[in-house]
Structure formats: C-alpha cells, structure tokens
Amino acid sequence: MNQTDKPIANPIVVLREEFDDWAVLFNPDTAAAMGTNPVGVAVWKRMDGKRSLEDIVSEIRNSFEDTPDAVFKEIAAFVDTLAEKGFVGLEVESK
Amino acid sequence: MPEQLTDKIEPTVSKVMRTPRSLDIEITARCNLRCRYCYFFNNPTVEYRDLSTNEWLKFFDELGSLGVMNVTLAGGEPFIREDLTTLLEGLVRNRMRFSLLSNGALIGDEIAAFLARTGRCEYVQVSVDGSCAEVHDSCRGKGSFEGAIRGIRTLQRHQISVAVRVTIHRYNIDDLENIAHFLLEELGLPGFGTNSAGYLGTCRLNADDVMLTIAERQLAMATLLRLAEKYPNRISASAGPLAEGLTWRRMELARAQGKPAFYNGGRLTACGCPSSKISVRADGAIVLCSMLAHVELGRINHDSLAEIWQNSPALNQLRNRHTIPLTGFEFCAGCSYIPYCTGNCPGLAYTITGQVDHPSPDACLRRFLEGGGAIP
C-alpha cells in the first residue's frame, strides 16, 4: 500500500467550535489539544482522505477573502503540526 | 485571513462557549461511608436517587455530540455502581476523558486494570484525612483509612494517576505534618491537595464539632504554609487554610503598601466555573454546581444541555456575578481589603447567607482578623 498526499483527520480527535473565531482540536487518547481559528477549522473539515492538500488549499482560497500568497505554505505547516501530534494521517491506497 | 492557524488554548474573550468543556457528574447518590462533613448528603433540596445505566449512556451520547472533553464522576461513591465499567465505556465511546472522586475503599484490581486499559483516566482522587486510622477514621468511620490506602496502592500498581485530597477538620489539624510525610514520603505521591470542612450538607449538622475555629484555622494555615515550603510545589489548595494563608498574605501586603487593586479584586469574581463547566446531580437534574445543587436548570435527556448552557437565566446570572462590586454590600462596608478581595465561593455564600450574589463570610479576611485570627 502507498501513502497518498491526501490527509485524513484522525476520527478520534474532537473538534470543538467554542466561539465564532475559536475552536479546539482535542485528542482524548493523549489529552493533546490545540486551538485553531476558522481557517484551521475549514481545513480540518476537508481532511477526509479524498482531497489532496492542493484541493484543500484551492477550496480555502475560494471560501475566504484576502487569502495571502503564502496560504499553501501556511496550511501545509498547519497540517504538518497536526500530523506531528497524531491528529492527522495520510490516506493509503492499495496497489 | 489570520496568519496563525493555531495558538495556545487560552481564549481571552469573555463570551460564552457554545458548549461546556467539562462536566461534574454525581453518578450515584449511594455511598459506603457517612463522613461527618460530607457536602453531598443532607441537602434538603436534593432528591437522592440513582438513574439507570441507559439514562446515563443516553446523556453521554449527548455530551459526545457537544464535544465535551472531560467528565468528573463523583457521588456518593462512584465505585459503588455495579455498572461503572459500562458507564465509563460510554464516556470513552463518546471521545471523552474522565476522572473519579472516591474514598478509595471499593477500588480493587479488576476495576483499576479496567481504568488503566481505557487510557482515558486523568486521575482518581482519593480522600485521605489522616496519617493513621485513628485520625482518618474519626470523621469517616471505622475501616475507612485501611480502605483508602488499599485503594491508593491498587491504583499505583496499575499506574493510574492518584490525586489525594486532605480535608482539614478539628480532628486532624495536629496530624498535618504526619499526613504530609505519610503521603509524600511513605506512599510516594507526587503531591496532594488540601481544603477544609465547609458549611455544606452533612457538615452543617456537625459544624460545631468538625469545622475549624479561628484559632485552629490559624494553626492549620501556619502548619500548611510551613509544609508547603518544606515540600515545594507538592502541596496545593484552591480553598481551605493553605489557599487562604497564601491569598491573605498577598492581600495584607498589598493593603499595607497601598498597592493598586488586584485585577480580579473588588467584585464577586471568585468563581470561574460557569464559563467552562456545569454539573449534574445523581437524579439527573442539571445544576449550576454541586455546591449550588438547589438551582435546577433542567433534566438530562429531557432538556437540551446546549440550550441550557447558552440561555439559562440562572447560569448567565452566575456568569455575570463578576460584575457585582463588593462596595455594594453592607457586609463589606468600610473594609480596607475590598480592592484585593474576590468575594470567594458562591456555594458557601449561599449556604451561609441564603444569597448566591453575596460575598462568602466563610473566607472573609476582615472577619477572621476581627475574630482574633492573625495571618501567619
């Protein structure tokens, strides 16, 4: 099986949208948690193992106004951070 | 778009979260002990009955759908429930972590192993009030010390985090040094917490016998402050003599030096609980707090917790308590500590004065000094 470039959210992780501009991702198995803004939430909700990172960034560009040029880099870094914490993996496909 | 997608978890806004982060649940109204200062029993406004397994599991599904992160199961004695593993599986299934408050006596290897297997147990808090059976059992009943220590050792064998709480009363103030030595050096606990018997529940019936006098409170304060220096960062308190000793020292220093008001001083700011958590009684009543168990906001599985959380007038009134200035209370008239005072626990304020929106006389520094007390 090969890893794809399609991130998939760890289903055990809880997304708590606490305020309009603030959410928490919480892994009950490790007690790890991190806060995120609405863009992070939008990214999180799109990590379904079907969309590539490029797909996700493209949708974010279409959904939010005034996205900076560095949006791809920022979202990639965000996904890397999530992966380091075990919040996200990469979808695998069988040959 | 903001550049940072993540940040530390510290919302600076005072808006209400969409749902509570955590819940305190009295999972049972039964207990194997009858401690003389128990806050839980003998509250005339509470109906002492247990809900069925399925009623709790249905509610836990609701908590899961709301993204609740932590649940603390208390009672009564939570380990008395024969269906405890089923209930905990319900919490785990709904992606929550949990803690349990216990007297320790009913914790055996089987349940301890289960707790460890879940990987979701934050800690089990066990009450220990003495360094020996004679002291501990004085208010908790014969055999309770042996049960508590057996429970702690069982939890330790299964690598479950144990949080010990020492409740200070008239029968253990002379044992505090021994208690610290026993818990920290003999049992090898990383630390323990302290409070004191408060004027709630059964304690109200035994107040003259178990609650500390001003002189005893001063002695407990001095001893605990000394022990806290001897064992740095290993003895904690959010209420009771140690917390009071630390807070009152700061307040007296600030007053004597004419310092500006504390950021949370001068208003009823003491309780931050309603910003992130809510409580449920054993009979399923959703309440403000286990110390304000008479204020029923609704019923589990009947009323929407999210709706209550966001719109309950009583809950919002408690949240707004922090706007009430102490200068408006006759009780505080002329007090030079007002700029440094938070008014303290609304639960104790209610049981003592009959008003939630009132400073608690129990933790009033001026009252303590006027009664002959001195800050160590």
| pLDDT, tens digit, 9 for 90 and up, residues B279-338 | 999 999 999 998 999 999 999 999 999 999 999 999 999 999 999 999 999 999 999 999
Q: Between chains, do B10 and A35 touch, taking CB under 8 Å as contact?
A: yes
pLDDT value of position B106: 98
CA distance B310 to chain A (A): 12
Give the mutation candidate from B5, B120, B309 for the A interface (greatest A CB count, under 10 A).
B5
pLDDT band with cut points at 50, 70 and 90 for residue B30: very high
B2/A37 Cβ within 8 A = yes
Of B3, B4, B17, the CB nearest to A18: B17
Please give, one letter per residue, the 3-state secondary structure of chain B.
CCCCCEECCCCCCCCCCCCCCEEEEECCCCCCCCCCCCCCCCCCCCCCCCCCHHHHHHHHHHHHHCCCCEEEEECCCHHHCCCHHHHHHHHHHCCCEEEEEECCCCCCHHHHHHHHHHCCEEEEEEECCCCCHHHHHHHHCCCHHHHHHHHHHHHHHCCCCEEEEEEECCCCHHHHHHHHHHHHHHCCCCCEEEEECCCCCHHHHCHHHHCCCHHHHHHHHHHHHHHHHHCCCCEEECCCHHHHHHHHHHHHHHHHCCCCCCCCCCECCCCCHHHCEEEECCCCEEECCHHHCCCEEEECCCCCHHHHHHHCHHHHHHHHHHHCEHHHCHHHCCCCCHHHCCCCCHHHHHHHHCCCCCCCHHHCHHHHHHCCCCCC
Shortest Cα distance from B171 to chain A (angstroms)?
39
Helix (H, G, I), strand (E, B), or coil: what is residue A7?
strand
Which residues of chain B have a CB within 8 Å of the CB of A64? 1
Higher pLDDT, B315 or B9: B315
Answer yes or no: do A33 and B96 touch at CB < 8 A.
no
Distance of CA B271 to the CA centre of its chain: 11
Q: What average pLDDT does this structure show over B47-61?
A: 97
Predicted local confidence at residue B193, as pLDDT: 97
Contact list, A22 vs chain B (CB under 8 Å) = 11, 13
Interchain proximity A28–B67, CB inside 8 Å: no
Q: Does residue A2 surpass a pLDDT of 70?
A: no
Rounded Cα distance, B365 and B370, in Å: 9
Kindly determine whether residue A74 and residue B3, on different chains, have CB atoms separated by under 8 Å: yes
> Per-residue confidence at B204, pLDDT binned at 50, 70, 90?
confident
Whether residue B95 lies within 8 A of chain A, CB to CB, comes out as yes
Rounded Cα distance, B252 and B335, in Å: 12
Residue of chain B nearest A71, judged by CA positions: B3
Residue A66: is its pLDDT beyond 60? Answer: yes
**Per-residue pLDDT at A68:** 87
Is the CB of residue B118 less than 8 Å away from at least one CB of chain A? no
Q: Pick the more confident residue, B55 or B41.
A: B55
Closest chain A C-alpha to B97 CA, distance in angstroms: 6
Confidence of residue A5 (pLDDT cuts 50, 70, 90): confident
In A, residues 8-37, which contact B (CB 8 Å cutoff)? 12, 14-19, 22, 24, 26, 28-29, 31, 33-37
Averaged pLDDT for residues A15-35 = 94
Say which range, B6-20, B112-126, B354-368, has the weakest mean pLDDT: B6-20
DSSP state for residue A10 in the 8-state scheme: -
pLDDT at residue number B41: 85
A31 contacts on B by Cβ (under 8 Å): 97, 122
Q: Which residues in chain A belong to E strands, given as ranges?
A: 2-9, 14-19, 22-27, 32-36, 88-93
* A-chain residues near B11 (CB < 8 A): 18-19, 22, 35
Q: Does A28 contact B97 at a Cβ distance shorter than 8 Å?
A: yes
Whether the CB of A83 is below 8 Å from some CB of chain B: the reply is no
Does residue A84 belong to the interface with chain B, where contact is any CB pair within 8 Å? no
Give the one of A19, A33, A36 whose C-beta lies nearest to B5's C-beta. A36
Cβ distance B9 to A34 less than 8 Å, yes or no, reads yes
Tokens (6 digits) for B336: 């030079």
Query: Mean per-residue pLDDT for A6-34?
Result: 94
Identify all chain A residues contacting B97, using CB atoms and an 8 Å cutoff. 28, 31
Q: Does B7 touch chain A (CB under 8 A)?
A: yes
b/e B139-155 (16+ beta carbons within 10 angstroms → b):
bbbeebbebbbebbebb
Nearest residue to B25 via CA among B285, B297, B311: B285
Taking only the tens place, the pLDDT of each residue in B212-267 is: 999 999 999 999 999 999 999 999 999 999 999 999 999 999 999 999 999 999 99
Does residue A81 belong to the interface with chain B, where contact is any CB pair within 8 Å?
Answer: yes
- For residues B176-203, average pLDDT: 94
Query: For the ranges A39-53, A78-92, B280-294, which has the lowest average pLDDT?
Result: A78-92
pLDDT of the residue at B2: 42
Q: Mean of the per-residue pLDDT values for chain B?
A: 94
> In this complex, do A18 and B18 lie within 8 Å of one another by their Cβ atoms?
yes
SS3 label, residue A57: helix
Q: Range with the lowest mean pLDDT among A35-39, A90-94, B128-132, B304-308?
A: A90-94
Q: How confident is the model at residue B7 (pLDDT cuts 50, 70, 90)?
A: low
CA-based nearest distance A26→chain B, Å: 7
Is the pLDDT at A41 greater than 90? The verdict is: yes
Q: What is the pLDDT of residue B11?
A: 41
Beta bridge partners of B267: B325
Å between A92 CA and nearest CA of chain B: 24
DSSP 8-state code for residue A22: E
Residue B203, pLDDT score? 85
Does the beta-carbon distance from B69 to A26 stay under 8 Å? yes
pLDDT confidence of B198, banded at 50, 70, 90?
Answer: confident
Kindly state the percentage of chain B with pLDDT values over 70: 96
Tell me what pLDDT residue B155 has.
Answer: 98
| pLDDT cut 90: percent of chain B above it | 86
More confident residue, B14 or B117: B117
